[in-house]
């Protein structure tokens, strides 16, 4: 027991001395007891070097283990551009939305630094994209806002047919009076496009209006040109008495017949004129000669123009060896009247013999039978014999002709 107490006592003193030493060491600055360069790494317990143990600027690059400086070790706003190795920051190093305009120096971001397709509309400042920034042909229809393209944006004369949408050009888009004939497709202008009363005579081509284009019963007297209606335009048998004006004075030449008509021209002896020096006794209804020899007589024949002479008949009395005879002549109005004449017909009593009664003879073999008063004159020549006296007498001459109109 005593031995234990003595040991405890000794130990107790030792402990007191140790504590006293330690307290003394704590109370006294460590540097006073440690020689320079005497504290080595192994003398320091791991994890015992604190922030306050490190002198300012004491930790250099060589003292920092590779990969040991983490984000938590770096004070906010302490890394400048000079601290970052060129070309070492990748997209994974940058937090979304962390780089604003204040983080970049002017001209720091070029095309190579921007990920293709990553610039969004909100990244581009208003008015930042100018003509030089847009590649040719890159502004497509989808890029244009509605109503963005006005007249000032379109190059003059650059809009082609392919640029115009169907039915996009209406009246207000067309300059008045600018549509030429070449602009209008054939058959494009229909009735509804033409204003009433606008198709004038000058607009209608020659012979363009036929019967089908004229409304039935719409042509009035005022529409007909003078002398425009001829015979072929009038329906046969359609002109009635009421269609002919009073006092129309229709000449015979304007009236024709369905069948050939026959006319006669009677020349009485009273019209006979003596053409010889001998004496002729003209009783009006017959003539006879006095004295001796042949006694000639003449008479004009006034045919209607255009008739066709078919027959001549001579009335006579012949009870004597002497005869009576007549000729129908035609003489040219422009030629020599002494020589330029021809015979149309001839009748002589010599063909019948004597008779104590009146007789008639006909000649239907007429030459140059069509009468043309524009070129010729027609006349009768005959004779009786003075020696025969009243035994040979010439009576009336009747000429028959045909015609198809009143005007002959």
Q: State whether residue 391 is helix, strand or coil.
A: helix
Mean pLDDT of 292-317: 94
Domain boundaries, position 399: 262-405
Q: How far apart are CA 394 and CA 288, in angstroms?
A: 7
| Residue 310 included in any domain | yes
pLDDT, position 30: 52
Instruction: Report, as an integer, the average pLDDT of 112-138.
Output: 86
Query: Is 145 inside any structural domain?
Result: no
Closest CA to 328 of 262, 255, 242, 401: 401
Query: What number of other Cβ atoms are within 10 A of residue 304's Cβ?
Result: 17
Q: How far apart are CA 232 and CA 253, in angstroms?
A: 17
Give the CA angle between residues 300, 302, 304 to the nearest 5°.
165
Residue 20 lies in a domain: no
| Farthest CA pair distance, the chain | 244
297, 340 Cβ separation under 8 angstroms: no
Beta strands in 138-293 (DSSP E): 256-267, 273-274, 279-282, 287-290
Say if CB 335 and CB 304 are below 8 A apart. Answer: no
Specify if 157 maps to a domain.
Answer: no
Residue 307 has pLDDT above 70, yes or no: yes
Within a domain: residue 376?
A: yes
Cα 63 from chain centre: 97
Q: What is the pLDDT of residue 374?
A: 95
DSSP characters over 39-50: --GGGS-TT---
Q: For 353-382, how does the pLDDT look when each residue is reduced to its tens digit (9 = 90+)?
A: 899 999 999 999 999 999 999 999 999 999
Q: Please, which residues have CB within 8 angstroms of residue 321's CB and are 6 or more apart in sequence? A: 354, 388
Counted residue by residue, the chain has a size of 408
Measured from the Cβ of residue 270, the count of other Cβ atoms closer than 10 Å reads 13
pLDDT tens profile 383-395? 999 889 999 999 9
Alpha helices in 250-337 (DSSP H): none
In 3D space, the residue among 149, 117, 405 whose CA is nearest the CA of residue 257 turns out to be 405
**C-alpha distances in Å from residue 353, one per residue of 217, 293, 316, 322:** 73, 19, 12, 10
Token readout for 213 is 């284009």
Lowest-confidence range among 39-48, 120-129, 286-295, 396-405? 39-48
Q: List, for residues 147-183, the tens digit of each pLDDT value.
A: 888 888 889 989 888 888 888 888 888 899 898 888 9
Of 6-10, 106-110, 393-397, the one with minimum mean pLDDT is 6-10
Q: At 68, is the pLDDT very low, low, confident or very high (cuts 50, 70, 90)?
A: confident
Whether the CB-CB separation of 286 and 382 falls below 8 Å is answered with no
Gap between the Cα atoms of 145 and 131, Å rounded: 17
Q: Could you tell me whether strands 325-332 and 308-318 are parallel, antiparallel, or unpaired per DSSP bridges?
A: unpaired
The torsion region of residue 83 among left (phi > 0), alpha (psi -120 to 50) and beta comes to alpha
Q: Under a CB-based contact definition with an 8 Å cutoff, are residues 294 and 385 in contact?
A: yes
**Averaged confidence pLDDT in the chain:** 84
User: What element of type H or E holds 15?
Assistant: helix 2-27
Q: Band of the pLDDT at 4, cuts 50, 70, 90?
A: very low
Q: Say which CATH number the domain at 282 has.
A: 2.60.120.200
The total domain count for the chain is 1
pTM: predicted TM-score of the whole model, two decimal places: 0.43
Answer whether residue 291 is part of any domain. yes
Q: How far apart are CA 190 and CA 24, in angstroms?
A: 126
Q: Tell me if 108 is assigned to some domain.
A: no
In a domain, 201, yes or no: no
């Amino acid at each position: 027991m005593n031995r234990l107490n003595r040991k405890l006592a000794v130990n107790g003193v030792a402990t007191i001395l140790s504590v006293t030493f330690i307290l003394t060491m704590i109370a006294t600055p460590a540097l006073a007891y440690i020689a320079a360069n005497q504290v080595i790494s192994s003398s320091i317990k791991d994890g015992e070097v604190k922030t306050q143990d490190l002198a300012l600027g004491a930790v250099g690059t060589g003292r920092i283990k590779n990969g040991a400086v983490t984000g938590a070790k770096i004070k906010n706003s302490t890394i400048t551009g000079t601290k970052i190795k060129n070309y070492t920051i990748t997209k994974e190093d940058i937090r979304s939305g962390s780089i604003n305009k204040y983080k970049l120096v002017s001209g720091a971001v070029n095309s190579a630094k921007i990920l293709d397709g990553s610039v969004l509309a909100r990244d581009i400042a208003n008015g930042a994209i100018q003509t030089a920034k847009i590649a040719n042909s890159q502004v497509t229809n989808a890029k244009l806002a509605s109503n963005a393209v006005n007249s000032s944006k379109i190059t003059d004369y650059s809009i082609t047919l392919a640029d115009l949408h169907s039915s996009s050009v209406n009246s207000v888009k067309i300059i008045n009076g600018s549509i030429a004939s070449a602009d209008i497709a054939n058959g494009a202008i229909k009735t509804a496009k033409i204003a009433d009363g606008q198709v004038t005579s000058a607009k209608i081509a020659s012979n363009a209006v036929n019967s089908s284009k004229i409304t039935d019963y719409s042509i009035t007297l005022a529409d007909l040109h003078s002398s425009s209606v001829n015979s072929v335009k009038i329906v046969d048998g359609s002109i009635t008495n009421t269609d002919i004006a009073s006092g129309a004075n229709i000449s015979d030449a304007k009236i024709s017949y369905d069948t050939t008509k026959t006319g006669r021209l009677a020349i009485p002896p009273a019209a006979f004129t003596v053409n010889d020096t001998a004496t002729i006794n003209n009783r009006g209804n017959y003539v006879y000669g006095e004295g001796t020899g042949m006694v000639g007589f003449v008479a004009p024949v006034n045919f209607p123009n255009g008739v066709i002479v078919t027959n001549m008949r001579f009335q006579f009395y012949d009870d004597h060896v002497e005869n009576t005879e007549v000729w129908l002549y035609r003489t040219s109005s422009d030629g020599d009247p002494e020589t330029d004449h021809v015979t149309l017909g001839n009748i002589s009593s010599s063909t019948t013999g004597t008779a104590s009664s009146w007789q008639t003879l006909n000649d239907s073999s007429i030459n140059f039978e069509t009468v043309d008063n524009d070129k010729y004159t027609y006349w009768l020549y005959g004779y009786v014999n003075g020696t025969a006296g009243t035994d040979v007498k010439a009576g009336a001459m009747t000429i028959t002709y045909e015609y198809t109109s009143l005007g002959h």
